[in-house]
């Protein structure tokens, strides 16, 4: 830990700490989690590289799609299969990082899946506000104020 204030931490700092935690494998029976940790570390390395060059919208869209693809691949595997554990680690950390960016990510995903809405159809509205919304405020506002739960960031 250093002496900077928490407000100075960036998502790069936080994901670096996540990565080093999983690389250390210091948890009990870490060998049982080797494939899971490998998936987690690979996803974090991939995401950290993209964080340097992608916009928030591009990043969330890309990693949501990757998570869905890898989740589909995971679906047919036995949970004890090392490949399944790898994919589970990869997908879980994507969800965790995307939830850091937007705490409603997991809830929004579950809602869209339950309603049969493709993520791409709802992406802009769910994450960046729908500009057609009757209570849409300027970019410096955090919430549209109507109680719908949409946050309007551009």
Q: Is the pTM of this model over 0.85?
A: no
- pLDDT at residue 133 above 80? no
pLDDT in the model for residue 24: 82
pLDDT in the model for residue 139: 45
| CA–CA dist 35, 81 (Å, integer) | 9
* CB neighbourhood size of 35 (10 A): 18
pLDDT in the model for residue 116: 61
Concatenating the DSSP letter of every residue in 12-80 gives: HHHHHHHHHHHHHT-STTGGGGHHHHHHHHHHHHHHHHHHTT--HHHHHHHHHHHHHHHHHHHHTS-TT
pLDDT in the model for residue 82: 92
pLDDT in the model for residue 122: 47
Pick 122 or 99 by higher pLDDT.
99
- pLDDT at residue 98 above 70? yes
Q: Indicate left, alpha or beta for 61 from its phi (over 0: left) and psi (-120 to 50: alpha).
A: alpha
């Amino acid at each position: 830990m250093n002496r900077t204030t928490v407000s100075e931490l960036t998502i790069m700092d936080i994901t670096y700490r996540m990565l080093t935690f999983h690389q250390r494998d210091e948890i009990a029976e870490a060998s049982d989690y080797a494939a899971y940790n490998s998936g987690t570390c690979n996803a974090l390395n991939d995401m950290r590289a993209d964080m340097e060059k992608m916009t928030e919208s591009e990043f969330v869209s890309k990693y949501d799609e990757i998570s869905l693809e890898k989740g589909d691949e995971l679906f047919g595997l036995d949970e004890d299969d090392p490949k399944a554990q790898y994919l589970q680690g990869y997908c879980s950390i994507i969800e965790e990082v995307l939830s850091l960016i937007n705490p409603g990510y997991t809830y929004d995903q579950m809602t869209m899946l339950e309603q049969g809405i493709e993520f791409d159809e709802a992406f802009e509205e769910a994450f960046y506000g729908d500009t057609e919304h009757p209570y849409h405020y300027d970019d410096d506002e955090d919430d549209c104020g109507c109680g719908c739960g949409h946050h309007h960031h551009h």
